[in-house]
Structure 1
C-alpha cells in the first residue's frame, strides 16, 4: 500500500478538509452546530471530542455526507462537498457496531469495497492480502464475523475502511463496545496504522483519555461550538476556558475573584479568606469572577508543600489506592471535594481520614479561567 494515500493534489498548502461557517439545525430553531470553521491537514489525526449533544457526531455525519449543512460549506481540497453523495466522497468509515456483513467471511468483507469499485481481481487479491497481514488476521480470513472476538471484528471493519486507500477515514466511536484493555490496545493499533500509512483520520469520541492518546489535535465541542482545538498536551496544560479544563483530565475547581493582576499572573481570592497566585486566563481583569483550575498531580502534601508559595490546611475525607498513586480527597475552603494525587512512595502511611493536612502548589500550576 502507498505511504501516503492522501497525496491526491500537488497543492500541499491546501487543507484536505475545510469547514467554512457551517451551521446545522434539525428543527429550524435550535442550532446543533454553530458557525463551524475548521481546517484538517493531510495526514493529521483530528479528534472531535465532547459530551453527548455537543455537535461532534453531527459534524462527522455532515463530512460523511449523511447530513447536509443548513448553511456554510464543506470542502475537500477545492471541491465543495455539500451536494456530493456519501458513496462518491471516497471516504473510509468505521462505526461502533462494526457493520460487517454476517454472511461473508473476513476476506469477503474486506474485499467488498474493492468489488464495488470494480478493481481487477489480481490487484484486489494483493490489497486484501497486504491488509490481512497488517491487521494480523490472515489465519482468520475464512471465518465469519460471528466466529470472531469484538476486537477482531473491529480490526476487520478497520481493514475494510482502509483497503481502497481512501483520502480520509472517518471513525464514529469505533471502540465504544470494547472492554478497557482491548480498547487501549486498539487505540495504539489505530494510531500505528495512521502513522504507517500516512492516513488522514477524523475520529469522534466522548472519551477524553482516548482523544489524548491518539490525536495530533483535539477539537473540544460544547453546545455546538469548538471551545478549543489544540494538541493534547496544550489542552491539558493550557485550557482556554473552564469547560475545557473540567472536560480534559481530572481537575479541581475553586470559585474565586481576581484581586490583582501583574502581567500574565494574578492573585485570586476564594473560599473564606483564602488566596492563591495563578496564571491569568483570557479576557479577565481585576474584580472578575473566576474558576481557578488546579490538576490533582500538581498538589503537594505536608512536607512536600512546605516551601511552596500557596499553602492551606485541608481535612482528609478518604484515600483511594490506585496502584502507583493514591487519590487523597479533602475538604478545603471553597471545595469539599478537592483531590490531590500522591505517588505511593511519597505517601505518609500514618495519615487517617479526618486528619488535617497542609496542601501546597505553585502559582504556575493554577489557571484563572472564566466563571461560566
Structure 2
C-alpha cells in the first residue's frame, strides 16, 4: 500500500462527525518494533465502538496479535496512542485495564475446579463471597455449563474448556473482551458451534470484542467489521460483505474467499469500465478499482459464483464470454465446483447451484462461460 493512501486512511480515522458518539477504544497511529529497526505494526489506526465485534484478520506474522497484545497491556507501542473510553492506557498495567482475555490454549488453572477458575478474577477484585457465588452461577449459565462447576479442566472436552475460558473472561463484566485465536485448537464441528455461541453471547451482553484469527470463514461469520492485515499494515477495514464483494486490492481479494485471478494490462478506460488485454491475448471488460491508468499492469479478481455457463437463449447476457475446457467437476451437494481452463488459466473455478442442470458436465467437454464486467474487478498488479 502506498504512503499517500496509508496517510489518507490515518487522517480519516481521526475524523469523527459531531453527532457520532466517541469511540469506546482507539488505536491512533500505533507502531511496534521489537528490535528498534523493523516495524511489525506500521501506523495502525482503528476506532472500536461500544458493543462492536471487530476482527483482526491476516496471515501469520502480519501484526494482528501484536495489536491485540498492545491493547491488553502485554506489549507496549513503540509509537502512537491507545485509548480506552477516551483515556490513554499505554502505560497502564494489564490488571488495571479491566479487559477480559481469552487465549487459544484456554489458560485455565488445572488444580482448580471450574467454579474456582471463574471465581479467581472476582476474588482478586475483593468481591464478597455471596456476590462471587452469584456472578459465577450467572457466567456458567451464560455458557450453558451450569452442571459443571465442580469439575476440573482435565475432566472437560476442548469445547467445554473453551466455554469456561470465555466465562472467566466475562465473569467480572468487562466492557471489552479480547480473543486471541480462541478456537484454533478445536475441531471443525466444535469450532463452528463455538463461533455461533460467542456471537450469541456478544449479542446478549452488548460487550465490545476484538477477535484475532487467520481463519477467513470465522471472521466473516462473527464480525461487525474486519481489519485485514498484511505485513503490519491494514489493507482494508470494512464489514464482511464489503470485504468479500468489494475488495480494494489484490491481497484482500485473494485472502477473503475463493477468487479467480487473471493478469494483464489496461488498454482503455471507458467510463466505469476498463479494457484489459490479458497475457494470454484475450480482452476482458472489467470494473476499474485499483488498476492504475492505461498501460498499467493489473490483476483481475472474479468470484467463482459470479461466473455462469452460457446455455443458449436461457443464459443472461454477459459482457465477457469465452470458450473453456472442463478439467474437473466436483459434486458438493448444494452446488458443483467446476475447474476449467480458460484465458490461459488452468485453475479457473466456477461454482454453480446443482439445480441449474449442469451435473452433466464432464472433463474434456468444451463449454462457453461468461461474467459481467461489474463482477470483474481490476486491482493492483
TM-score range, shorter chain: over 0.9
Match of 1:74 in 2: 82
CA contact (8 A) 1:170 1:202 kept: yes
Match of 1:6 in 2: none
Match of 2:112 in 1: 104
Match of 1:35 in 2: 43
* Equivalent of residue 376 in structure 2, options 359, 363, 366: 366
Shift of 1:355: 1.4
Match of 1:245 in 2: 253
Deviations 1:19-78 (A, max 9, x none): 111111111211100011111111110000000010001100111111111111111122
* Equivalent of residue 259 in structure 1, options 236, 256, 267: 267
* Equivalent of residue 138 in structure 2, options 130, 136, 139: 130
| Pair 1:13 & 2:21 matched | yes
Shift of 1:305: 4.8
TM-score (norm 1): 0.94
Shift of 1:177: 0.6
Match of 1:176 in 2: 184
Give the secondary-structure state (helix, strand or coil) at the position aligned to 1:285.
coil
Partners of 1:113 and 1:65 lie apart in 2 by 17
Partners of 1:306 and 1:314 lie apart in 2 by 18
CA contact (8 A) 1:254 1:293 kept: yes
Partners of 1:293 and 1:334 lie apart in 2 by 15
Match of 2:278 in 1: 270
Match of 1:337 in 2: 347
CA contact (8 A) 1:92 1:161 kept: yes
Match of 2:338 in 1: 328
Give the secondary-structure state (helix, strand or coil) at the position aligned to 1:278.
strand
Give the secondary-structure state (helix, strand or coil) at the position aligned to 1:152.
helix
CA contact (8 A) 2:286 2:376 kept: yes
| Larger RCO: 1 or 2 (CA < 8 Å, sep 6+) | 1
Partners of 2:285 and 2:316 lie apart in 1 by 16
Partners of 1:334 and 1:348 lie apart in 2 by 23
Give the secondary-structure state (helix, strand or coil) at the position aligned to 1:156.
helix
Partners of 1:156 and 1:289 lie apart in 2 by 51
CA contact (8 A) 2:266 2:291 kept: no
Give the secondary-structure state (helix, strand or coil) at the position aligned to 2:235.
strand
Partners of 1:135 and 1:272 lie apart in 2 by 55
Shift of 1:111: 1.1
Partners of 1:349 and 1:43 lie apart in 2 by 46
Partners of 1:267 and 1:348 lie apart in 2 by 30
Deviations 1:101-142 (A, max 9, x none): 111111111111101101111111111111211211111111
CA contact (8 A) 1:305 1:358 kept: no
Partners of 1:286 and 1:314 lie apart in 2 by 28
CA contact (8 A) 1:106 1:156 kept: yes
* Equivalent of residue 233 in structure 1, options 228, 241, 250: 241
Partners of 2:21 and 2:362 lie apart in 1 by 60
* Equivalent of residue 214 in structure 1, options 214, 222, 232: 222
Q: How many residue pairs are counted as aligned between the two chains?
A: 361
Deviations 1:211-255 (A, max 9, x none): 000000000000000000000000001101000000000000100
* Equivalent of residue 53 in structure 2, options 38, 45, 48: 45
Shift of 1:268: 1.6
Task: Please list every run of 5 or more consecutive structure 1 residues that lacks an aligned counterpart in the other structure.
Answer: 1-10
Deviates more, 1:68-77 or 1:194-203: 68-77
Task: Please list every run of 5 or more consecutive structure 2 residues that lacks an aligned counterpart in the other structure.
Answer: 1-18
| Pair 1:313 & 2:316 matched | no
Deviates more, 1:177-186 or 1:260-269: 260-269
Deviations 1:142-181 (A, max 9, x none): 1111111111110000000001011210000000011111
Shift of 1:283: 6.2
CA contact (8 A) 1:255 1:334 kept: no
Give the secondary-structure state (helix, strand or coil) at the position aligned to 1:51.
coil
Shift of 1:264: 2.5
CA RMSD of aligned residues (A): 1.4
Deviates more, 1:321-330 or 1:205-214: 321-330
